[in-house]
Amino acid sequence: MKGRVVVTGGGTGGHLKVAKAFVEEFHKRGIPVIFIGSKNGQDEAWFKDDRKVKKAFFLDTKGVVNKNLWGKIKSLFQILKETNRCMDIFDKAEVGTVISVGGFSAAPATFASILSMGCDLFIHEQNSKMGKLNELTSRFAKEIFSSYLPSSLVKDYPVSSEFFDNARVRERINAIIFLGGSQGAVAINNFALSVASKLDSLGIKIIHQTGRVDYERVKKEYEKLNINADVFDFTPDIAKKMSQADFAISRSGASTLWELSANSLPAMFVPFPHAAQDHQYYNAKFLKDKGLCFICREKNLSVEVLDKILASDINSMSKGLIDSVGCDAIESIVDIIVENN
């Protein structure tokens, strides 16, 4: 490799899952990696004690989007300050390759890679709508990897092997999993509770990830309904939970969408309505256009929507998902990065 490798980005689980996939693949090949993230967000929880990382730096950066003018100015000033720090890190560690997975955490190291002489930038864009940082810096990248860009050399999404290992073709709906992500989704939680009695009367098992904030409320509501649902706030073993289900009702962040696809688990996606550029809708639309999922806006969730799902041909959808994502994406991407150095 040309100099040391830096993996940067994060803030949310979707970005961090991809960052972790890169770290693990480089570690497997005996190539040491430096991780650069932020003190704000989930970055430290993921990488502070990760022994597969040679060294980790957590910078004092915050997002620029959805802030007032003064907030944007402060965030941009801090990003510029931390960019200088990254250039010092690059110089001392002799960094030659930077891989950005996006998110505000990636800004300083990404800008530093552009300003540093002889440093190659590679970008992985998770979503169907390119994030502002990646959009701004993509012209300087040696290669951009994306499941949605026609020009991407690798279109498969980095998904952990456990989701493929537990994959199976679904024949009928005996269990439904509701997924709002680790932070939860109140709209999905409320929809699950509104149709719980019907599902229970049909003998359909309910598996429900509520998110930490809404866990107690949702759990008590199931108890009031006298329904024995599998309710949890968060689990590191989500692949096993998915494998037990025959259908998913879920947000459509890129990581979750492709994990469900790898598991051949048909889904109805309920996009987060405030996602930047409505990217969760377009993530799901990519599969919907191929007949491989349903999409429903939060405001349209109803019992009638559930009836449509229960009457659908999930077997064909499940079979169609088998070839929707390959299992060797991260290996292929790292191969290209190594060959370019």
Q: What are the chain's domains? A: 4-158+328-339 (3.40.50.2000), 162-321 (3.40.50.2000)
Q: Which residues of 139-157 are buried (b: 16+ CB within 10 A; e: fewer)?
A: eebbbbbbbbeeebebbbb
Binding site per annotation, positions: 12-14, 127, 182, 280
pTM assigned to the model: 0.91
Q: Is the pLDDT of residue 144 over 70?
A: yes
Confidence of residue 291 (pLDDT cuts 50, 70, 90): very high
Confidence of residue 68 (pLDDT cuts 50, 70, 90): confident
User: What's the confidence (pLDDT) of residue 210?
Assistant: 95
Confidence of residue 131 (pLDDT cuts 50, 70, 90): confident
Which residue from 8, 204, 237, 251 is spatially nearest to 113, judged by alpha carbons? 8
Per-position DSSP letters for 56-103, written without gaps between them: EEEE-----TT--HHHHHHHHHHHHHHHHHHHHHHHHHTEEEEEE--S
Query: Between 254-262 and 279-288, two packed helices, what is the crossing angle to 10 degrees?
Result: 20
Which residue from 88, 117, 86 is spatially nearest to 7, judged by alpha carbons? 86
Query: Between 13-28 and 329-339, two packed helices, what is the crossing angle to 10 degrees?
Result: 60
Binding site per annotation, positions for UDP-N-acetyl-alpha-D-glucosamine: 12-14, 127, 182, 280
Q: Is the pLDDT of residue 90 over 70?
A: yes
Confidence of residue 337 (pLDDT cuts 50, 70, 90): very high
Going across the sheet that includes 175-179, the strands are 230-232, 205-209, 175-179, 247-250, 267-269, 294-295
Which residue from 221, 176, 209, 192 is spatially nearest to 303, judged by alpha carbons? 192
Mean per-residue pLDDT over the chain, rounded: 94
106-110, 129-133, 202-206: which range is least confident on average? 129-133
